Chain A
Amino acid sequence: MRQAETWVILGASSGVGRALAREVAARLSAKIILAGRDLHDLEDTATDLRIRHGVDAEVIGFDAAAPDTHAEFAARTTRRAEGLITVCFLSAIMPAQDAVEVQPTLAAEMVMVNLAGAMVVLLHLANALEKRRGGRVVVVGSVAGDRGRRKNFAYGASKAGLHAFTEGLAARLRPQGILVTLIKPGPLDTSMTWGLPESGLALDPRRAAGAILRATLRGRGTAYVPAIWGPIMTAIRMIPAAIFRRLRF
């Protein structure tokens, strides 16, 4: 029999989160904890996972923007988990850049979820994983965090912060054998991009989920999804700042 394990998906109601939960249930038959704010929706996904894949699935409320609750959330989650824990952080919001420019407080709300909330909950969970001397952490960033693009730099900034945090977290947890994987997706075909002008080439979240699971199980430090974004972002990162500043994309 396979050793018991539990995947905790924060932001499980997201397009990618639901797909990842299904992928994990289908491939690993692990226990799955779905975390987020829309409990009604998460219960439906949990039922679906139980019926389709016969896995143990349960829902725990999680609000990234309420960091005071994260200690309790981490404690509850680790109590409910069995075996090796894999924590996946996917919660994020992406208000339009022009909306942020009109109403700058939106930037603060976004950082609260995408970065501050992520840091607080991941730090709590990292402590728990350290105590258990094992586990994995998966953080979903974005190609948008690799450069500050004119069209999306507020969101990009929250993801850049998340990347730096994740890199450091990986260094901290490595001695315990806890691997941290940073996923940097390109555009994905979810609610986040639906209706945006440049969303034509977006990747199916099921394929993204497959790639995230593979990268995690292989213990990759960083993985672009799909992989083609690796070389593209290498090239984009090499554009000198003096030139990048003039680009409108």
Chain B
Amino acid sequence: MVMWRSIERAGWGGVAAERMEAARPERIAALLATLREPGARGLLAVGAGCSYGDAGLNGGGRVLLTERLDRILEFDAQTGLMVAEPGVSVADVIAHFLPQGWCLPVVPGTGSVSLGGAVASDVHGKNQHRVGNFGDHVAWLDLLDADGNVRRLGPGQQGALFAATIGGMGMTGVITRIAIFLQRIPSSTMMVLREKVASLDALIACLAERSSRSEFSVAWIDGQAADPALGRGVVESADWSDEDAPPQPVSPFRVPFTPPASLVVPLVMRRFNHRYWHAVPDRRAAVPRRAQAFFFPLDRVVGWNRLYGPRGFLQFQCVVRDAAALAPMLRACRAISPTLVVLKAMQGTGRGLMSFGITGWSLAMDFPAGPDTMALLQRLHAQTAEADGQIYLAKDIAMTAENLPRMYRKLDRFRGALRDVDPRLSWQSSLFRRLKLFP
């Protein structure tokens, strides 16, 4: 008998909370037991709940929280191969292995992300242009299917199911073990260079140039700036330092509650943007920073997403081939200026049939939720589709099903794989139903 707790949950953006029943298995035997009680709307494995939209929700259905499946099961100090359970967080792996000279090859923008979630969304980091997505470094996975079989998947082992599971948003089953190659690093310190750039064209040129030379690169755009300063921002590039620099203590700041109004956010985020813009020194020299501080700038304000108040916020993230598509998108946001804008050069696509990534430019923008935000997102989605781009499903809550085939060209193969592995639709999510992923 499985204990189910009724919970109300929203994605990271705090928009559209839904009610669902949750189990929280602490061991594999308990996980197996949940398969016998799928409920009417199927089951969904969920990680840390860092997906912005509804990828990690199964409204009216049941979810399996993986956070207590949190053990590291193997580490080979020769090859760097680490095996772990899905509930181990990215931050946990980094905290443990960084001092030993190893790092996850792909690190998303928050350390809270679980390894299971990192595989299921095939996440990318600031080094995507160099090393690809998370799934590119996975040696094998164990997948628990709806019939209770654990299947070991890899590039050469049930390759079609492996490709459907990487970036597969939990639709193939529960990832119960992940084997991933860690990357050797010379220190726990990054040499970080920040350059202020006054216009979008210059920013794109600078980001392209830095991406060709540095391991890590990303640009923060000032969302409040309009023509002629449209797209002004800061290009941040970094490489591992050969030696450790004295660590700078950072104290986390916690947002203990959801403030009543979302008024605070624009102010706080404006300050965040402002600080980014003005904190950049005139000297063009790289400065040492702790790797964690570089990877997770937002984690310093624990619970910053709550600052948006009860209405929450939405994130738009697309990738487009041609940089020319970016300016019209930024201009489309004149009425609702984004609180955070991040641009990243991407190179190549992931291994998964539904992986996010094409060679081009990834633009992410946060917007406080409001009456007109949905319409704006629809418009941005249309622009993305016209530019033959993709919307990142891990961030999405607003896209319509019609856009999906054009953006994800391997959708038919994905649906085919789902037909094979899960003909009874045992795995479902709110996103799954919204985007009509049904095989």
Contact = CB atoms under 8 A, between A and B. Distances in A.
A41 B68 contact: no
A38 B5 contact: no
A18 B26 contact: yes
A240 interface: no
Contact of A194 (B5, B28, B71, B96): B5
A44 B84 CA distance: 10
A191 B26 contact: yes
Nearest to A193: B3
Contacts of B85: 44
B206 interface: no
Given A191-B3, A196-B3, 8 more contacts: A13-B26, A40-B29, A44-B85, A51-B75, A191-B26, A194-B5, A195-B4, A195-B5
Interface string A183-220: 00000001100111001000000000000000000000
B71 A48 contact: yes
Given A194-B3, A194-B24, A38 B29 contact: yes
B4 A190 contact: no
A196 B68 CA distance: 18
B60 to A, nearest CB: 18
Contact of B74 (A47, A190, A196): A47
A40 B28 contact: yes
Nearest to A46: B71
B180 to A, nearest CB: 14
Contacts of A191: 3, 24-26, 30
Most buried by B among A13, A41, A52, A194: A194
B27 A13 contact: yes
Contacts of A230: none
Interface in A42-99: 44-45, 47-48, 51-52
A45 B26 contact: no
Contacts of B375: none
Interface string B66-78: 0010011111000
A41 B3 CA distance: 19
A191 B68 CA distance: 10
A230 B110 CA distance: 39
Interface of B: 3-5, 23-30, 68, 71-75, 85, 96
Contacts of A48: 71-73
A54 to B, nearest CB: 11
Nearest to A191: B26
A40 B71 CA distance: 13
A199 B24 CA distance: 14
A48 B73 CA distance: 6
A62 to B, nearest CB: 16
B28 A52 contact: no
B297 to A, nearest CB: 26
Interface of A: 13, 15, 18, 38, 40-41, 44-45, 47-48, 51-52, 190-191, 194-196, 199
A52 B27 contact: no
A8 to B, nearest CB: 20
Given A191-B3, A195-B5, A15 B26 contact: yes
A32 B349 CA distance: 45
B66 to A, nearest CB: 14
B94 to A, nearest CB: 13
Given A52-B96, A194-B5, A47 B24 contact: no
21 contacts: A13-B27, A15-B68, A38-B27, A38-B29, A41-B28, A44-B73, A47-B72, A48-B71, A48-B72, A51-B73, A52-B72, A52-B96, A190-B26, A191-B3, A191-B24, A191-B26, A194-B3, A194-B23, A195-B5, A196-B3, A199-B5
Contacts of B28: 40-41
Most buried by A among B4, B28, B71, B85: B71
Most buried by B among A13, A40, A44: A44
B175 to A, nearest CB: 15
Nearest to B6: A195
Nearest to B70: A48
A195 B30 CA distance: 14
A47 B26 contact: no
A51 B24 CA distance: 24
Contacts of B27: 13, 38, 41, 44
Contact of A195 (B3, B68, B74, B75): B3
A47 B85 CA distance: 12
Nearest to A195: B3
Contacts of B4: 195
A35 B23 CA distance: 25
Contact of A51 (B3, B29, B68, B74): B74
Contacts of B30: 191
A51 B72 contact: yes
Chain A to chain B: the 8 pairs with minimum beta-carbon distance, closest first: A195-B3, A48-B71, A41-B27, A195-B5, A51-B72, A194-B3, A44-B71, A48-B72
Nearest to B177: A44
Contacts of A51: 72-75
A191 B31 CA distance: 12
A129 to B, nearest CB: 30
Contacts of B72: 47-48, 51-52
A196 B85 CA distance: 26
Given A13-B27, A38-B27, A191-B30, A47 B5 contact: no
A45 B71 contact: yes
Given A195-B3, A196-B3, A47 B29 contact: no
Nearest to A15: B26
